[in-house]
Amino acid sequence: MIHLTESAATHIRNYITNRGKGEGIRVGVKTSGCSGLAYVLEFVDNIDQHDQIFENFGVKIFIDPKSLVYINGLEMDYVKNGLNEGFEFNNPNKKGECGCGESFTV
């Protein structure tokens, strides 16, 4: 299960509306950084038959089976803090992260 906060869902929904197309977003992981894994976000225009699909606040989240193992239970929030804004990931599977916070390990 993947959870979006209302703030994250609103941000994603606005981007899809402005983009003019899209089924939702894909959340996944890739090998990267000094800790091993990094989050990947992309718009979904074509649904893969193997994707797991979750929906929060009217936004569809697509996860490929390989990534779901690492991010099952993930909560995504969208926060604005001063001039900075972006997604924050609360992953219950994370065991550690690199010093810059760009990658994590499970």
Report the C-alpha gap between 9 and 55 in whole angstroms: 10
**pLDDT interval class at 29 (50, 70, 90):** confident
17 inside domain: yes
Q: How many domains does the chain have?
A: 1
- pTM (two decimals): 0.83
- Mean pLDDT is highest, among 6-10, 29-33, 67-71, 85-89, for 6-10
Give, for 86, the enclosing helix (H) or strand (E): strand 84-90
Q: What is the CATH number of the domain that holds 15?
A: 2.60.300.12
Give the phi and the psi of residue 4 in degrees, each rounded to 5: -110, 140
Give the phi and the psi of residue 56 in degrees, each rounded to 5: -135, 130
Q: State pLDDT tens for residues 72-103.
A: 999 999 999 888 888 988 888 776 665 445 54
pLDDT for residue 103: 47
pLDDT for residue 105: 58
62 inside domain: yes
